[in-house]
Amino acid sequence: MCATCGCDDHSHEQGGGVVIDLEERLLARNDHLAGHIRDWLASIGVRSYNLMSSPGSGKTTLLERTVRELGLPCSVIEGDQETTFDADRIQATGVAAVQVNTGAGCHLDAVMVRKALASLDPAPGSVVFVENVGNLVCPALFDLGETGRVVILSVTEGEDKPLKYPHLVRTGDVVLLNKVDLLPYLDFSQDRFLRALRQVNPHAPLLPVSARTGEGLADWYAWLSR
């Protein structure tokens, strides 16, 4: 659809100025609300973490263990286009979870998180995990009022992903390399991955983990508790 007037004829579009302006206004509104969410969470002593990865990297598996093992009261906001599968998995651990279905949308935004938080009503001093829609592109743009951003990549995805998806990987406050239990069966080079990561994000701690076996998770819990 033409971004200038909404018609289906692209022949009269003049450059990309209007598109950028709309995107900036959309993001400014999101950022404004995210700021309020951040202030409110801080006022009740709640920390929140925005987990971002491609589909199937292990976000929910990591959260199933984390909410059991972290030793702090937790709740979870689950973002997916469809289904309540992930919220069901978290609730099965005994922890409160709210599922947000984005339909055709490819990311969570601050409006969705605000509504989910109103329903979750997190306890003061607790930790809220937000599992974003599996996507290494769009979630990068949307501030959710989080305390920290967690980028999860897994060894089955290849070493080049930081270089191919730099915008999202750059925003990570910590990077988890998941599924390291599969390394013996793959030709994944941790050295090559680290070099790729450091070109894009020089400072975020890199934590190799296995959400399946528990390897490395003590470092993840220490990072969360720091």
Residues 15-74 interacting with ligand GTP (rule: CB under 6 A): 53, 55-61
How many Å apart are CA 197 and CA 207, to the nearest integer? Answer: 12
The answer to whether 171 and 140 have CB atoms below 8 angstroms apart is yes
Residues 63-102 interacting with Mg ion (rule: CB under 5 A): 86
Task: Name 79's Cβ contacts closer than 8 Å, sequence gap at least 6.
Answer: 100, 102, 107, 108, 112, 130, 131, 132, 133
Q: Nearer to ligand GTP by C-beta: 6 or 184?
A: 184
Q: Nearer to ligand GTP by C-beta: 31 or 181?
A: 181
Q: Nearer to ligand GTP by C-beta: 2 or 105?
A: 105
In the shown chain, the binding pattern of residues 165 to 204 toward ligand GTP, with x for contact by CB under 6 A and - for none, equals -------------xx-xx----------------------
Residue with tokens 């509504």: 115
Q: Nearer to ligand GTP by C-beta: 66 or 210?
A: 210
Q: Nearer to Mg ion by C-beta: 33 or 86?
A: 86
Is residue 91 part of the contact set for ligand GTP (CB under 6 A)? no
List 38, 114, 170, 212, residue binding ligand GTP (CB under 6 A): 212
How many Å apart are CA 115 and CA 117, to the nearest integer? Answer: 5
Give the binding range for Mg ion (CB under 5 A) out of 53-61, 67-75, 192-200, 213-221: 53-61
Count of residues engaged in binding ligand GTP, rule: CB under 6 A: 17
Terminal Cα-to-Cα distance of the chain (whole angstroms) = 47
The answer to whether 172 and 57 have CB atoms below 8 angstroms apart is no
How many Å apart are CA 45 and CA 119, to the nearest integer? Answer: 18
Closest CA to 158 of 50, 62, 57, 60: 57
Rounded to the nearest whole angstrom, what is the least distance from the CB of residue 59 to Mg ion in the complex?
Answer: 5
Segments of the chain assigned E as strands:
47-53, 74-80, 97-101, 127-131, 148-154, 174-178, 206-208
List 210, 217, 220, 224, residue binding ligand GTP (CB under 6 A): 210
Residues at the interface with ligand GTP (CB under 6 A): 53, 55-61, 86, 134, 178-179, 181-182, 210-212
